[in-house]
Structure 1
Amino acid sequence: MFGRRARSEEDTVVAVLAAALRRDISFGVLRPDQKLKIEALRQTYGGSNHSMRETLRMLSAEGLVEATAQRGFRVTSATEDDLRDILFMRLEVERLGLRLGLQRSDVQWEGRVLAAHHALRRTEEALLKEANDALALDWDMACRSFAAVLVEAAQSPRLSDMQLKFYDQSRRFRLALLREGRLDFTARAQQQQALVEAVLARNTNAAVAALETYVTGDMMTGTRSV
């Protein structure tokens, strides 16, 4: 009993540490390729050596941290090639999930898509009025929820897990574009609306095409909707 309680407490600590490091990697506080020394991280974020090591292993599985043989951990790189590869994998998963979802979905799923889209639009409107880190996180989570609901009707937990993994790997790039003022929110709103309309019309080809536009945006100009 006590062993289970200790394990549960340790899992909670790791979850809290992972959320903090995930946030700071996403916002660029922990920079791409930065070495992550456990003792230095403990001084900033707390936790034990064991819990911090477990945290870094978790983030390594998510693709945000890289474990190198004999060299410890570092934040994964964030080059343009990295982004292209992440978007390639994300699109492969999300296209498949959306196609399957449109075959297997019901009216309740349509309601969840509409609700997620509504929440996303509200957070984008709030962010345009007052940009701060708290609203940026709310917006990013709304983007994440909208992306996730589009594939959940595929009824494949493993596919959904992969979708979230690649989405999370792309968030550093999206938040960097937000900080630099390089996101076109008018274009994003139009892309989201086109995607939702195609989904509700059960037009698979149009929905997949709209998804591709929304996820990739314009890679060359820096107004990417990632």
Structure 2
Amino acid sequence: MLFSRSEKDGDTVVHMLASALRRDISFGTLLPDQKLKIEALRQRYGGSNHSMRETLRLLSAEGLVEATAQRGFRVTSATEDDLRDINLVRKELERVALGLAIAQGDTDYEGRVIAAHHALRKAEDRVAAAPDDLNALEWDEACRGFSAALISACGSPRLQDLQRKFFDQSRRFRLAQLREGRLDFNARRARQEALMQAVLARDPERAEALLAQDIDEDFKTNSQTG
């Protein structure tokens, strides 16, 4: 059991439980389409019936968990069609947000992009050398950080919220590639360096094209290995 709880800390407990379940869904510990029973989850992660149900409702709103007709919950599916749809939404949403960020961003925005890119490079070097769970988790967070930094000056909290949601839905596929040794880190490094340089050059057309290509590469890698 990971967590105990007090009633006054309900929101914090839900946040902690959600973080733990997100991680385990992303790493495949909780499998696609797996039924999620409240009591079994409580024994494994802690919390009360109420906090666990609230956690599952939160993850359902994020698209990681699905409510069933019998009023239970299961992990959402992770098929090629799911990935295709997630990537379609990510491309359209992130391209719009990136264009706005480039148009509106100041030097602080540029600094965030540079810092996030540097953190991603360091994390990728570590995970390429030793793809254990700790390095994989750090790398996954660095991927999220770079993606978020790119659109951080878009001026739309709703776009940023949607980006986080669909990025999180794509994590399972990216981490599966890592586990199965299907990532070309040299190609990723070249694409992301070019993307950062396009952002710094304030070239939205090139930056948006490179971003779409980077997202597409996730789907191509999965679809070619079915």
TM-score w.r.t. the length of structure 1 is 0.93
1:158 counterpart residue number = 158
Equivalent-residue separation in structure 2 for 1:190 and 1:109 (angstroms): 21
Letter in 2 for 1:205: E
**RMSD between aligned residues:** 1.4
Query: Matched residues in 1 for 2:223 and 2:145: separation?
Result: 21
**1:52-131 → structure 2 map (5 Å cutoff):** 52-131=52-131
Tell me, yes or no, if the aligned pair for 1:66 and 1:76 is still in contact at 8 Å.
yes
- Tell me the equivalent position of 1:184: 184
Match of 1:3 in 2: none
CA contact (8 A) 1:42 1:49 kept: yes
Partner amino acid, structure 1, of 2:95:
R
Q: Structure 2: any 5+ residue segments left out of the alignment?
A: 1-5
- How far 1:141 sits from its partner (Å)? 0.4
Change (3 A) 1:188 1:56: same
Percent of pairs with identical residues = 64
Give unmatched runs, 5+ long, in structure 1. Answer: 1-5
Instruction: Name the amino acid aligned to 2:167.
Output: Y
Extract structure 1 runs of 4+ deviating beyond 6 A: none
Q: SS of the counterpart of 1:21?
A: helix
Which amino acid is 1:78 matched to?
A: A
Name the residue aligned to 1:194. Answer: 194
The total of aligned residue pairs comes to 219
Aligned residue type for 1:189: R
* Contact persistence 2:87–2:219 (CA under 8 A): no
Q: Indicate whether 1:39 and 2:27 are aligned.
A: no
Query: TM-score normalized by structure 2?
Result: 0.93
- After TM superposition, give the deviation of residue 60 of structure 1 in Å: 0.3
Further displaced range: 165-174 or 122-131: 122-131
CA contact (8 A) 1:183 1:223 kept: no
SS at match of 1:66: strand
CA distance in 1, matches of 2:65, 2:218: 27
Native 8 Å contact 2:151 2:160 kept in 1: yes
Q: CA deviation at 1:213?
A: 1.1
1:64 partner letter: L
Quote how far apart the aligned CAs of 1:186 are.
0.5
Contact 1:182 1:223 (8 Å CA) reproduced: no
1:132-161, Cα deviation, whole Å (9 max, x unpaired): 101101100000010011111111111000
For the residue of structure 2 that corresponds to 1:74, the secondary structure is: strand
Change (3 A) 1:69 1:218: closer
Show the counterpart of 2:3: none
**Structure with higher RCO (Cα < 8 A, 6+ apart):** 2
Aligned CA distance change for structure 1 residues 8 and 166 (closer, same or farther; 3 Å): farther
List per-residue Cα deviations over 1:177-216 (Å, max 9, x = no partner): 1000001100000000110111111111111111111111
CA distance in 1, matches of 2:75, 2:207: 35
Q: Deviations over 1:75-107 (max 9, x none)?
A: 000000000100111111100001111111111
SS at match of 1:30: coil
